[in-house]
Amino acid sequence: MAVARRLLGAAVVFTVCLIPALTVDRSNFKTCDQSSFCQRQRRLQPGLSSYRAALGSAKLSSDKLEVQLIDDKNQASLLLEVYGLVGNMTRIKINEINPLKPRYEVPDVLVGTPLPTNLQVTGQDDNTLELSLGETGHKLLVTGTPFRLDILSGQDLVLSVNSRGLLHFEHLRERKDTDTEKKDVPAETDEENPEEVESDKEEESKKPEVDEPGMWDETFKTHTDSKPNGPSSVGLDFSLPGFENVYGIPEHADNMKLRTTEGTDPYRLYNLDVFQYELYNTMALYGSVPLLLAHNVKRTLGIFWLNAAETWVDISSNIAGKTLFGKMLQYMQGGGETPQTDVRWMSESGIIDVFLLLGPSPFDIFKQYASLTGTQALPPYFSLGYHQCRWNYNDEEDVRNVDAGFDEYDLPYDVIWLDIEHADGKRYFTWDPHKFPNPRDMLSGLKEKRRKMVAIVDPHIKIDSGYRVHNEIRAQNLYIKTKDGSDYEGWCWPGSAAYPDFTNPEMRKWWASMFSYDKYEGSMDNLFVWNDMNEPSVFNGPEVTMHKDALHWGGWEHRDVHNLYGLYVQRATTEGLIQRSGGKERPFVLTRAFFAGSQRYGAVWTGDNAAEWDHLKISIPMCLSLSLVGISFCGADVGGFFKSPETELLVRWYQAGAYQPFFRAHAHLDTPRREPWLHGDDNMAVIRDVLRQRYTLLPFWYTLFYKALSEGEPVMRPLWVEFPSDVSTFAMDSQYMLGSALLVRPVTEAKARGVQVYLPGDGEVWYDVHSYQRYEAPQTFYLPVTMNSIPVYQRGGSIIPRKDRPRRTSDCMQDDPFTLYVALNLQGEARGELFLDDGHSFNYEQNEFLFREFNYSQGKLTASSLDPSGVFKTPSWIERIVIIGATKPSSITLSLQGGSESSLEFEYDQSTSVITVRKPGVNIASDFTVSLR
Ligand SMILES: *[C@@H]1O[C@H](CO)[C@@H](O)[C@H](O)[C@H]1NC(C)=O
Ligand SMILES: *[C@@H]1O[C@H](CO)[C@@H](O)[C@H](O)[C@H]1NC(C)=O
């Protein structure tokens, strides 16, 4: 929940009226042209790089290559370090050799020091150095003049660095304070006359470094950014021959497949609280993950640009060969007509630190990126259930009534949420004494029903000498400072607020300690947390965020750390929830702002969307983009945050949301109530059915999250991840996979009578999960739909464990029996997995879990352990086995490990080819075989 209010002078206007026209006020946010470093970086046009690598100075040690890069324009030099890393990765660092002061290197994002491989020189001539990059058959060519890097896999050129000559590194320097020089702006290059570009470049090369407006201070609207360090930006280009599809770099409200940015603004990565964000554009949003993926039928690549400053990414589509491939042309297949994507990264400060992930498969990329930044934390089981939120549930009675409504109408749900109004005057960690006088009683009431609550804790702290949290942070001197050294103050929900410096480990430690039950009064073990506004949002700040010259721990500017702030807030909160339980219980923390590595701390939602069909539609590519960069626990506000959804949209949104990882309904303060029972019995029945579908699949979701934790596999996946050579899936936004077993195509169109469905996979079959209708793939077909329809297909060859008994909460289902849904492929085979533990503690790390495998082949279903180190006792047994796409057997027998054999009852439905095996009755932990004859 968040609304950036317009400002009148210094006062925030907290109007709560409905805003009729929903469009972002673009003028609040910078374009590249209004960002002086972006403008300076972008002014440099492709051409021959002015840098040369002094190969004579190259130093090769066992794990890295060091070479000086010399800028022929100004003789300044940089140090290039290249590392080959275990698992098909290469790291490239470029920094000044002796900067005037240290430049920021992003801490706390990598989970460890990546393991280097042995580099060896395998060839050399006057202008080239050839290295082998460890064990994997990849080679690196370093070209001296002009400087470029090329990575080869066998004879294939995979990726080139600086081949378009866009390396641009602004050295820290002393300010030259003369007015005349300030006016001496270099001429714009003339795109229509390439020869003139060249001569301009030479001209430029003779000029001394000149200061220009925007370098030492920059004004945007009413805000001036004093830039005591002057220009400090870095930029570099990457060419990807043979690639036409690139993905990732969330967060943007855009399609999954990234667009080219020629003639428009680059994609921007700068965590911002964008009021009423617009769809289908490259503007920045709440979070940033600087990982880009490229995919073609042969391979997948990743470029991870580890920089937390404001960053812009240009994407252009070219033909390889026209762009100065030089001697690399011999490595290009088909001469000069290979399509190519060029990617250019530009960041305001810091160093160049980039990881090239070489795949070759999508799952290799996920593993590689996970080895750098970690994997998705395993959510507590309840958090995969349904969450009911609104700004706000007004008081304890309101909470009681809404909670009772779910029971009265027989709707499962797990968590009720409280927004900012629950706290005493937006003083987080407190409760409004009139509306929430007895929070523990309220929480106990929920606990009796085995339900939870989430309350918001934002990182802006009300400046109020009567507020303990404020006093303690101030007393410890842990607030972010202004450039002049006083505590930074901004306007946010509480009015005047200060911002804890979460980059400081002392601050995080203190914050974490605040979640202990004695410090956070009224809290209990079924209370969890939500961090909003952590971009950070500053209503009266530039672009509704913090001044870039504000100062953090270690003397770093906010400019350097901006995109990391939200990650640190969520991290400190997560650590607090773990600590309050003595390290035993898994936390649940939702965040709006995020960065690379945020997956380790919990869930993310797509912020303040709107009750519009296009917002429903875009929730799919927005979560897919997050999934591709390691953040699996993603969802969008069901129903839309702003505005009031028509009933049809609300119902469709429930249907779509039930098949997205984080499933929460939320609504703006000014919107009419929209709990599921307020829309008529028919619609409530549809919503009830949706919620039940979600709950039956919880074991499947949980297993997918275990795979996300253990293997870095995304829970929700673009089709191309599962079908990497099927080009028709490369830009598909309307349907996606859950794991490798379910294909989901939610209805996201108003008044839909039918939808187009594409089922991929040569020689594969799919089954409608509701009707068991069988489809041979690949095929596209028109599926007629009603208001009840959620088109979901189980892939032939998969086995999905479900719990089919409807209950009030996920916790109530814990000991319920399972049904196995076995969907046969054309070979009559299927396979599936199930992960199981207590659902809430870290005991799984002490081997208290079950990881089961089910394998159906040649008429036999066998259950065995995929990880015998795991042991977990559960009363859950198998009550049913549904075999889809089968012929009628004459008998079915069950044999257990010990050798006992018994025959099982079954039914066969001729019309659907489905066998339903009754009551195998075996415990889910036991090994068994069910044989069909
Ligand atoms: C590295 O790449 C090679 C081929 O390019 C591939 O066979 C291998 O599986 C990859 N290894 C990893 C760990 O990704
Ligand atoms: C499934 O079982 C069959 C027959 O026992 C075996 O050949 C096959 O390798 C198994 N498949 C998997 C994925 O374990």
Average pLDDT over residues 890-898: 93
- Protein residue with its CA nearest to atom 5 in ligand 1: 360
Average pLDDT over residues 73-89: 93
Q: Which ligand is nearest to the CA of 864?
A: 2
840, 585 contact by CB (below 8 A): yes
As a whole number, the mean pLDDT across the chain is: 93
Ligand 2 pocket mutation, candidates 798, 829, 857, criterion most atoms within 8 A of CB? 857
Ligand 1 pocket mutation, candidates 85, 88, 301, 713, criterion most atoms within 8 A of CB? 88
Note whether 43-171+209-249+289-373 and 796-933 share their fold.
Answer: yes
Q: What is the spatial distance between Cα 705 and Cα 516, in angstroms, rounded to a whole number? A: 28
Q: Is the pLDDT of residue 4 over 80?
A: no
For the chain, the straight-line distance linking the first and the last C-alpha, in angstroms and rounded, comes to 58
pLDDT the model gives residue 73: 83
For residue 756, give both structure tokens.
Answer: 């187009």
In which band, very low, low, confident or very high, does the pLDDT at 492 lie, cut at 50, 70 and 90?
very high
Q: Which ligand is nearest to the CA of 798?
A: 2
Average pLDDT over residues 379-407: 98
Report the range of poorest mean pLDDT among 128-142, 233-247, 733-747.
128-142
Cβ-count burial of 845 within 10 angstroms (0-12 exposed, 13-18 middle, 19+ buried)? exposed
For residue 863, give both structure tokens.
Answer: 């259950």
Give the rounded distance of the alpha carbon of 699 from its chain centre: 23
Q: Name every residue whose Cβ is closer than 8 Å to that of residue 512 and which is 6 or more positions away in sequence.
A: 572, 573, 575, 576, 579
Reply yes or no on whether 532 is catalytic: yes
pLDDT the model gives residue 823: 98
Predicted confidence (pLDDT) per residue in 838-856, tens digit = 999 999 999 999 999 999 9
CATH 3.65.10.10 fits 385-458+510-535+562-715, yes or no: no
pLDDT the model gives residue 24: 85
In which band, very low, low, confident or very high, does the pLDDT at 327 lie, cut at 50, 70 and 90?
low
Report the range of poorest mean pLDDT among 14-18, 335-339, 643-647, 692-696.
14-18
Q: Which ligand is nearest to the CA of 861?
A: 2
Q: What is the spatial distance between Cα 285 and Cα 445, in angstroms, rounded to a whole number? A: 38
Average pLDDT over residues 374-379: 98
Which of 622, 593, 629, 599 lies closest to 286 in space, CA to CA?
593
Q: Could you say which DSSP state residue 113 is in?
A: P
Calculate how far, in angstroms, residue 857's C-alpha sits from the geometric centre of ligand 2: 6
CATH class label, 796-933 = mainly beta
Which of 877, 737, 740, 746 lies closest to 805 in space, CA to CA?
877
pLDDT the model gives residue 457: 98
pLDDT the model gives residue 206: 43
For residue 664, give both structure tokens.
Answer: 């929460």
Q: Could you say which DSSP state residue 551 is in?
A: B
Predicted confidence (pLDDT) per residue in 243-269, tens digit = 999 999 999 999 999 999 999 999 999
Q: What is the spatial distance between Cα 257 and Cα 647, in angstroms, rounded to a whole number? A: 31
Active-site choice (254, 273, 487, 608): 608
Reply yes or no on whether 342 is catalytic: no
pLDDT the model gives residue 188: 42
pLDDT the model gives residue 629: 98
Calculate how far, in angstroms, residue 921's C-alpha sits from the geometric centre of ligand 1: 44
Percentage of the chain with pLDDT > 90?
Answer: 89
- Atom of ligand 1 at shortest distance to CA of 87? 13
pLDDT the model gives residue 15: 37
In which band, very low, low, confident or very high, does the pLDDT at 178 lie, cut at 50, 70 and 90?
low
Calculate how far, in angstroms, residue 156's C-alpha sits from the geometric centre of ligand 1: 14
- Atom of ligand 1 at shortest distance to CA of 86? 13
In which band, very low, low, confident or very high, does the pLDDT at 20 lie, cut at 50, 70 and 90?
very low
Q: 444 — phi, psi (to 5°)?
A: -65, -40
Length of the chain measured in residues: 933
Q: What is the spatial distance between Cα 158 and Cα 243, in angstroms, rounded to a whole number? A: 10
Average pLDDT over residues 738-767: 98
Q: Is the pLDDT of residue 91 over 90?
A: yes
Q: Is the pLDDT of residue 672 over 60?
A: yes
Active-site choice (225, 353, 532, 811): 532
pLDDT the model gives residue 1: 47
**Inter-helix orientation angle 468-475/505-513, to 10°:** 150
Calculate how far, in angstroms, residue 828's C-alpha sits from the geometric centre of ligand 2: 12
Q: Is the pLDDT of residue 198 over 50?
A: no
- Domain 43-171+209-249+289-373, architecture per CATH: Sandwich (2.60)
Average pLDDT over residues 505-525: 98
Q: 357 — phi, psi (to 5°)?
A: -100, 120
Percentage of the chain with pLDDT > 70?
Answer: 92
pLDDT the model gives residue 72: 87
Tell me the CB-side half-sphere exposure of residue 510, using CA atoms within 13 A: 20
Q: What is the spatial distance between Cα 597 and Cα 109, in angstroms, rounded to a whole number? A: 6
Residues framing ligand 2 (Cβ under 6 A)? 831, 855, 857
Predicted confidence (pLDDT) per residue in 673-712, tens digit = 999 999 999 999 999 999 999 999 999 999 999 999 999 9
Other beta carbons less than 10 A from residue 139's beta carbon: 18
Average pLDDT over residues 331-337: 56
In which band, very low, low, confident or very high, does the pLDDT at 16 lie, cut at 50, 70 and 90?
very low
Calculate how far, in angstroms, residue 357's C-alpha sits from the geometric centre of ligand 1: 11
31, 24 contact by CB (below 8 A): no
Q: Which ligand is nearest to the CA of 359?
A: 1
Q: Which fold has domain 718-794?
A: Immunoglobulin-like (2.60.40)
Q: 214 — phi, psi (to 5°)?
A: 95, -10
Q: What is the spatial distance between Cα 285 and Cα 271, in angstroms, rounded to a whole number? A: 6
Q: What are the Cα distances from residue 909, in Å, to 693, 792, 882, 887, 917? A: 22, 21, 11, 9, 11
Residue 778, preceding bond cis, omega within 30 degrees? yes
pLDDT the model gives residue 338: 86
In which band, very low, low, confident or very high, does the pLDDT at 309 lie, cut at 50, 70 and 90?
very high
For residue 54, give both structure tokens.
Answer: 């002094």
Q: Is the pLDDT of residue 2 over 50?
A: no
| Residue that the structure tokens 């209708």 belong to | 773
Residues framing ligand 1 (Cβ under 6 A)? 87-88, 136-137, 153, 360, 364
Q: Is the pLDDT of residue 19 over 50?
A: no
Q: Is the pLDDT of residue 918 over 50?
A: yes
Q: Name every residue whose Cβ is closer than 8 Å to that of residue 720 and which is 6 or more positions away in sequence.
A: 245, 295, 362, 726, 729, 730, 732
pLDDT the model gives residue 325: 52
- Alpha helices of 438-532 — where are they, by DSSP H? 439-448, 468-475, 505-513
pLDDT the model gives residue 176: 80
Q: Is the pLDDT of residue 74 over 90?
A: no
Calculate how far, in angstroms, residue 777's C-alpha sits from the geometric centre of ligand 2: 24
Helix (H) or strand (E) holding 893: strand 892-896
Give the rounded distance of the alpha carbon of 67 from its chain centre: 35
37, 19 contact by CB (below 8 A): no
Q: What is the spatial distance between Cα 705 and Cα 871, in angstroms, rounded to a whole number? A: 19
Give the rounded distance of the alpha carbon of 476 from its chain centre: 34
Domain ranges of the chain: 43-171+209-249+289-373, 385-458+510-535+562-715, 718-794, 796-933
Other beta carbons less than 10 A from residue 175's beta carbon: 12
Q: What is the spatial distance between Cα 486 and Cα 474, in angstroms, rounded to a whole number? A: 11
Which of 209, 205, 204 lies closest to 173 in space, CA to CA?
209
**Inter-helix orientation angle 698-711/362-373, to 10°:** 70
- Protein residue with its CA nearest to atom 11 in ligand 2: 855
pLDDT the model gives residue 319: 84
Q: Is the pLDDT of residue 517 over 80?
A: yes
pLDDT the model gives residue 900: 87
pLDDT the model gives residue 210: 79
Calculate how far, in angstroms, residue 135's C-alpha sits from the geometric centre of ligand 1: 9
253, 279 contact by CB (below 8 A): yes
- Selected residue with higher pLDDT from 57 and 492: 492
pLDDT the model gives residue 137: 84
- Selected residue with higher pLDDT from 205 and 662: 662
Q: What is the spatial distance between Cα 490 and Cα 486, in angstroms, rounded to a whole number? A: 12
Predicted confidence (pLDDT) per residue in 450-476, tens digit = 999 999 999 999 999 999 999 999 999
